[in-house]
Structure 1
């Protein structure tokens, strides 16, 4: 049965190898079931509800990916988009989390429709590679900044806006020590180093009296009613969250596509540079995003941590199915997740390191080419300093075609990018809060 469905022999694999690869991926990305509810909880959402939404949407999308697309790729709420949801749209923009979920749902439906057409390629191709790399790196800086703030390593200053916190205090001291432990585990290539780094930091927090052990370690899943079907779609129109919808859609689309191509290439599954069954793979993420919004979480995305499973031998969807089953089992451990997320210093090292990983694409930007480099630079600095991914994208999208026009290279820019630049100019210039 497994051979017939997943084509194990055809891909030079076997069931034990695929199961081991699935376990490896699970350990590598397990941190998200702790970190995602912690981040969205800052927006006023119920932790237990977001925890269940995170697990269920991840399991659903990953099962679709594994069973129907037959790829060893895991899907879960994306880091960066969750921070944008909580800190930019809700806390920074003053919008309700219900309206933010409505924006996620609409972007998910748009993603589903795009996955059925070739327009998805037009949208991806319209964005220059330098801007794509800068957006990913800018999101990395943004979430690292949030991690540093949550741990009080960086604090507010009336004179300089931000400054270094008192590292001798328990919260920042534990975060710094936890970051050091996580880095050591990463250097020695320990599988699941982010999750084990969280556990090590939690032990430090417990020794300092900051962490309170739960009364029950295992409980029946509950709390989903507080977030499920709470999305306010009409609020998207009433509150003018058009740029938010576009940002969710754009980042999820090219981030997912890039991750899938990278993992598939590593697994040797590309056919002459092309991605077979790409429609099913993208549909898995699109449905995950829409379902996640209905349940109560931010957009899902393909996880680069899937590469760890591929490195362990994963070549088929059986690896993804194994990860999904293990993720489902975490539903009974919500008190543990809540305990770990209850102290910001515990999750901060993982958030900071994920931001660091997102810097990799900067090496691909032609920094000596001003028309390519300066818009990328604007995206990098604007995202964390304005606390808005959408603003960072908008500034870059406006600057890029303008510089190309001044240089006399306007024809090199896609008409679609000019259209996006105009929309962002109107949004930032006249409707920005």
Structure 2
């Protein structure tokens, strides 16, 4: 064990790593409830997505643990699942099979980038403030979705949106669940999102809004409904190039940023550099590709891994422990299905995760007009157009234009001009 994970070298022990893995698991296990709940709204089979979510997480996390020896968990990313279901499928009018095809193509490109140094060039081409704006915009987008699912915000024929009827049982329960999760969060309870879900579920049962399943444990079934259903040809016939680029771009820099942050917290960076980064990025790339084949949206490194690092996790044994616990959840699909079917149970997680993501706006350079206005449009257009790709596209087109107007065109990376042209073509001539 020590020889494989180098426990002594990193100043840790089996007991500490197992505790860290358990901690990480409870902070991120909410995704096995939320992800199938979101993707099932795109017409996908709940049980199939449930199994795909867990297996894709296992594939990516175990590669991360065994190939790079990092205490980082991989799972389907929040925001990307909402983009998949509500923008690409519902908003774009394409089938979920075609959307899975776009995820698979993005995953293959990600694998190729992970094996070359071009990934750094791609990341360096995008100004840091625009990266933060994308993260913040996604956060606002999924918060918006959470509020809609809970009917806290509803459609209005005159103003497009308005406040819903807060006394409706499901809406009221959502507010109660949100307050419970915020209280747990303020007291820094480990796994506060998951614990909040369980408490809300108990309240829902007392309110008569939740019916317990006949059985709690069952053998995992249903993967055939989503596995190997990708429509790759449809990706190109529908011209979903911006969708592919959006999946790729967000997964790449979100994963890179998360891994750097967790590695720095664990003291694993060397001279400010991220050793074995190729294997770490490859873990997410393979996880994304495997997830597409199984039936789920792109995977990403989870910032919740920092919870395990905070209690001493320093090696891949932390990730392996979390993987074992994730594998055990495969047998609890009946109870997971009931929890995911209640909007009041899942909506608070969407709202809070969105809040955590939008907090990065403080890192945007607000005194740099050429950067900050495109960043502003990225943030506001994602929820207003119900499309992450549209928000990114408008911001990416406007940024080099403003730089050129101000005579600073040389400050724009050459690759970024290519991004701008591609997004212009996509927005002007293709479905988006």
Tell whether the structures are fold-level matches, with TM greater than 0.5: yes
1:263-310 deviations in whole A, cap 9, x for unaligned? 000000000000000000000000000000000000000000000000
C-alpha contact 2:73 2:319 (8 A) present in aligned 1: yes
| Equivalent in the alignment of 1:61 | 60
Distance in 1, matches of 2:363 and 2:242, equals: 27
| Equivalent in the alignment of 1:181 | 180
Distance in 2, matches of 1:247 and 1:137, equals: 15
C-alpha contact 2:240 2:431 (8 A) present in aligned 1: no
C-alpha contact 2:239 2:431 (8 A) present in aligned 1: no
Distance in 2, matches of 1:368 and 1:414, equals: 20
C-alpha contact 2:22 2:321 (8 A) present in aligned 1: yes
Which sections of structure 2, spanning at least 5 residues, go unmatched? none
Instruction: Confirm whether residue 76 of structure 1 aligns to residue 78 of structure 2.
Output: no
C-alpha contact 2:84 2:99 (8 A) present in aligned 1: yes
| Equivalent in the alignment of 1:216 | 215
Which residues of 2 match residues 285-364 of structure 1 at below 5 A?
285-364=284-363
Distance in 2, matches of 1:251 and 1:134, equals: 11
Which residues of 2 match residues 192-211 of structure 1 at below 5 A?
192-211=191-210
Distance in 2, matches of 1:337 and 1:219, equals: 11
User: How many Å apart are 1:429 and its aligned residue?
Assistant: 1.9
Distance in 2, matches of 1:92 and 1:148, equals: 18
Distance in 2, matches of 1:140 and 1:90, equals: 19
| Equivalent in the alignment of 1:409 | 408
Q: Provide the aligned C-alpha RMSD in A.
A: 0.7
| Equivalent in the alignment of 1:94 | 93
| Equivalent in the alignment of 2:229 | 230
TM-score relative to the length of structure 2: 0.99
Distance in 1, matches of 2:383 and 2:83, equals: 10
Instruction: Confirm whether residue 257 of structure 1 aligns to residue 256 of structure 2.
Output: yes
Distance in 1, matches of 2:173 and 2:305, equals: 29
| Equivalent in the alignment of 2:43 | 44
Given the superposition, is the C-alpha separation of residues 432 and 231 from structure 1 closer, same or farther in structure 2, using an over 3 Å criterion? closer
Tell me the number of residue pairs that the alignment of Structure 1 and Structure 2 aligns. Answer: 432
Distance in 1, matches of 2:206 and 2:87, equals: 34
Distance in 1, matches of 2:237 and 2:421, equals: 22
User: How many Å apart are 1:406 and its aligned residue?
Assistant: 0.8
1:65-105 deviations in whole A, cap 9, x for unaligned? 01111000000000000000000000111100000000000
Instruction: Confirm whether residue 423 of structure 1 aligns to residue 427 of structure 2.
Output: no
1:141-163 deviations in whole A, cap 9, x for unaligned? 00000000000000000011011
C-alpha contact 2:266 2:314 (8 A) present in aligned 1: yes
Partner SS for 1:42? helix
Q: Find runs of 4+ consecutive structure 1 residues off by over 4 angstroms.
A: none
User: How many Å apart are 1:232 and its aligned residue?
Assistant: 0.6
| Equivalent in the alignment of 1:9 | 8
User: How many Å apart are 1:139 and its aligned residue?
Assistant: 0.2
Partner SS for 2:162? strand
TM-score relative to the length of structure 1: 0.99
User: How many Å apart are 1:430 and its aligned residue?
Assistant: 2.4
Distance in 2, matches of 1:201 and 1:155, equals: 22
Distance in 2, matches of 1:370 and 1:321, equals: 46
Partner SS for 2:42? coil
| Equivalent in the alignment of 1:157 | 156
Distance in 2, matches of 1:285 and 1:430, equals: 32
Which residues of 2 match residues 365-404 of structure 1 at below 5 A?
365-404=364-403
Partner SS for 2:300? strand
C-alpha contact 2:143 2:355 (8 A) present in aligned 1: yes
Distance in 2, matches of 1:140 and 1:418, equals: 26
User: How many Å apart are 1:13 and its aligned residue?
Assistant: 0.5
Distance in 1, matches of 2:154 and 2:360, equals: 28
C-alpha contact 2:238 2:431 (8 A) present in aligned 1: no
